[in-house]
Structure 1
């Protein structure tokens, strides 16, 4: 079981800075430290939090942090709140009872580790228990670079299998793995054209034959073509099927026997809830399912039920689908996922997003900013790079801020960014590099040129000044080797 030495405080006071400034400062800090240290941290994974379940679990823990005394009665109340949250998320009743019995037993009976309070201990017990029942360990998709690795994709019709193949192709292609896709789905009209378009979007080789009716022949021909091209990861799309369709199940077995894939991956719709486990078990009987991808965790309230039900089959969940975009697929790490559900910060996830966005900073610029020489031009660059990382709401999740901010705040900050960029585009080069030049007359001109108000321009200047001060403070902290982000309680470990 994971050993969490520090727990993210859930009952933090309201931040003194607006969320966008918080995010930009944290990202900037990570970038500056990487540049100064000369190396990036190891890769990390990003996990999407199921909003409904996450809010309910977070609310339950808030009671714990707000209590003056931690006793058996409080723990029992916490357990009941967790039970309700899990049942609403369609987690199986017997599994809910197993989870909460374990939490109640360990929360009160275990001896406290040295230096850990009872509150922190209970949160860690909840965190570790959720992670344990979600699979506990991260299991990567095994790929041997330089050799052909064939992965056969199967799933029920409507599970998002073909779209997932396009996402996986993009995911591995971005990581330097030569990837190609094969369409062996001759059952669903439009499957060929859909996969071809997805392959083109991801800029990976595609093979298919609309005239060939034998799916096994299609698969064999496609594999040979990909091997000729030196493709390292071959993703094989098969016909969507139902458990009851014996003909398609036989076809799946025949394809598997004909091409001998290194791994068979089952794609499951996360909105099915507990039924996802039944589906996984049925496919497991039909063929050797090596791993599972759960899709559509960005919609519906049953994702928690789907994940826990699939995990109960012992088949490892390797990826989760978290949206419609081509980049909306993430490796599944049960420990981090559980932490995100509880509102804990996922700095490793933030690091991975920064790496994916290819955010870089020159060493001279890093040293200058650490001294507090942070210009509007720097701020504009930060906003553009933040956009590359995806929606602000998702970045807030990785910082553990999603439950501490008013609803709709992420959308408001997205609009702020657009407005600030328009204002900065109305500034001169000198103004961007020396904001102190911007006095009353210049504020009027910028407001008029950008179609905003003078108050909007002043607000932007205030934001910049706040960030500048924090950058300077962080530079001093770094020289003294003190961790944390000044003025941001709960983010102490970011240094």
Structure 2
């Protein structure tokens, strides 16, 4: 999302490297790069001008700190200003003293409003808050069915009265149902239009007046850039909103929406959509987003993602297995699936400080491919082979059977077993705090991003994959994969 923006900012830091201190002379080139970065990210021009002025003022007035380079000092100033324009801190969803809390979802058609409603319900369930989804979009074909399908997927009830009822009455009765059943939060999904019109705003105003929501959230598409800020301001002036949800922030959006909405509209960004999956909704933290923009990662979000998926007892058992070198292919599969549940490999790496810049998209793609290849080979193993990988080392016939079952060469299975045993040994040494060779640049041949698990040839000639077609008969050349563990 912010890759191009981060690259531009990197140019700004370079302008100050090697300087003794920040001065009026050397800061201008750096400020020009920051301005270009913001404009390229489609940040509102008014916001850009104010941002540059504030950064310049603080940079010129900054005291020189012993041991801190000018470029590092400048990065800190830019980071603080990024946090400031995005809202300083997270603004949580409302929680009424007397349930139900009523949340009204508004937005144009195509922004992902219905999906965002379901995502929000799932997020609340993780906080032990029950929800009721209310379908008032009677205009868009299959909108009600879509919400019902999403509700079934996440096990959240949906209240609807068909397409002939008045949306205002549907919303009113939905809230009454929640009161009667003791449901904590009502999420009212409203109709959108291709553009703002009088009828749309009038209907929203009537629904809002009737149900008196505690939170009115505008769902906006991050792909619209600075236009998202203008849209948010218009909705706020017309019906009054308490916050925004930015969707599609994981796509090709240039970041202008995240950096413009709060300053232009005054409405805080409360949540961001980071993918199509119903689990892909995150509370918006300005400081964490600024850290991602500057390539510093986001460890807190990574920890929170892991905490949602990891069972503490399982983690302790896994640690014991690692320390005793009993980590097997079953454990590897479990950890791989756990990582997948947290998001894409690339998304996870970008949350780790420094990793986003160290690994190319090509390497990440290779890593994803190698993990899939490894899963396929492990899936063809017997229970004994998964539990005790050593039996594969001493049995060529077993390796041939696994290769045949998974569609790969025997050499691929041999490499998978070899890499796994190396990784198991390395993990044991890391767990015991005894990693030989680290003082001299790490363990030889243990670069974690060079040929991971079964790297090499593709599927066996004639192997029919999921699509049913035969693979190319020409044997593929061995390629270096994601990491040789």
Alpha-carbon distance between aligned partners in 1 of 2:387 and 2:15, rounded to the nearest angstrom: 48
Structure 1 residue 64, shift from structure 2 partner: 6.2
Aligned to 1:307: 258
Contact kept, 8 Å, 1:291 with 1:317, in 2: the verdict is yes
Contact kept, 8 Å, 2:82 with 2:259, in 1: the verdict is no
Alpha-carbon distance between aligned partners in 2 of 1:80 and 1:459, rounded to the nearest angstrom: 51
Alpha-carbon distance between aligned partners in 2 of 1:230 and 1:346, rounded to the nearest angstrom: 37
Structure 1 residue 251, shift from structure 2 partner: 2.1
Alpha-carbon distance between aligned partners in 2 of 1:445 and 1:372, rounded to the nearest angstrom: 26
Alpha-carbon distance between aligned partners in 2 of 1:434 and 1:280, rounded to the nearest angstrom: 58
Q: Which runs of 5+ in 1 are unaligned?
A: 1-48, 479-484, 490-495
Alpha-carbon distance between aligned partners in 1 of 2:83 and 2:26, rounded to the nearest angstrom: 23
Aligned to 2:416: 460
Q: Alpha carbons of 1:156 and 1:362: their partners in 2 closer, same or farther (altered >3 Å)? A: closer
Aligned to 1:474: 430
CA root-mean-square deviation: 3.1
Q: Which runs of 5+ in 2 are unaligned?
A: 435-440, 448-485
Contact kept, 8 Å, 1:181 with 1:234, in 2: the verdict is yes
Contact kept, 8 Å, 1:183 with 1:237, in 2: the verdict is yes
Aligned to 1:386: 339
Aligned to 1:409: 363
Report matched runs for 1:153-168 at 5 Å. 153-168=105-120
Q: Alpha carbons of 1:252 and 1:365: their partners in 2 closer, same or farther (altered >3 Å)? A: closer
Aligned to 2:173: 221
Aligned to 1:366: 319
Provide the secondary structure at the position in 2 that maps to 1:327: coil
TM-score by length of 2: 0.80
Contact kept, 8 Å, 2:125 with 2:131, in 1: the verdict is yes
Structure 1 residue 181, shift from structure 2 partner: 0.7
1:85 aligns with 2:37: yes
Q: Deviations over 1:336-372 (max 9, x none)?
A: 0111112112121111221233455253442341355
1:421 aligns with 2:375: yes
Aligned to 2:451: none
Structure 1 residue 276, shift from structure 2 partner: 1.7
Alpha-carbon distance between aligned partners in 1 of 2:148 and 2:100, rounded to the nearest angstrom: 21
Contact kept, 8 Å, 2:297 with 2:356, in 1: the verdict is no
Contact kept, 8 Å, 2:233 with 2:266, in 1: the verdict is no
Provide the secondary structure at the position in 2 that maps to 1:403: helix
Alpha-carbon distance between aligned partners in 2 of 1:187 and 1:164, rounded to the nearest angstrom: 18
| Residue from 250, 262, 273 that aligns with 2:214 | 262
1:326 aligns with 2:285: no
Q: Alpha carbons of 1:462 and 1:399: their partners in 2 closer, same or farther (altered >3 Å)? A: farther
| Residue from 131, 135, 145 that aligns with 1:193 | 145
1:149 aligns with 2:105: no
Structure 1 residue 436, shift from structure 2 partner: 4.5
Contact kept, 8 Å, 2:108 with 2:196, in 1: the verdict is no
Aligned to 1:34: none
Structure with the greater alpha carbon radius of gyration: 2
TM-score by length of 1: 0.78
Q: Alpha carbons of 1:86 and 1:206: their partners in 2 closer, same or farther (altered >3 Å)? A: same
Alpha-carbon distance between aligned partners in 2 of 1:443 and 1:107, rounded to the nearest angstrom: 63
Report matched runs for 1:434-445 at 5 Å. 434-437=388-391, 438-439=393-394, 441=396, 443-444=399-400
Structure 1 residue 264, shift from structure 2 partner: 1.0
Q: Alpha carbons of 1:135 and 1:428: their partners in 2 closer, same or farther (altered >3 Å)? A: same
**Higher relative contact order at CA 8 Å, sep ≥6: structure 1 or structure 2?**
1
Contact kept, 8 Å, 1:371 with 1:475, in 2: the verdict is no
Alpha-carbon distance between aligned partners in 2 of 1:98 and 1:298, rounded to the nearest angstrom: 27
Structure 1 residue 239, shift from structure 2 partner: 2.2
Alpha-carbon distance between aligned partners in 1 of 2:196 and 2:403, rounded to the nearest angstrom: 65
Provide the secondary structure at the position in 2 that maps to 1:151: strand
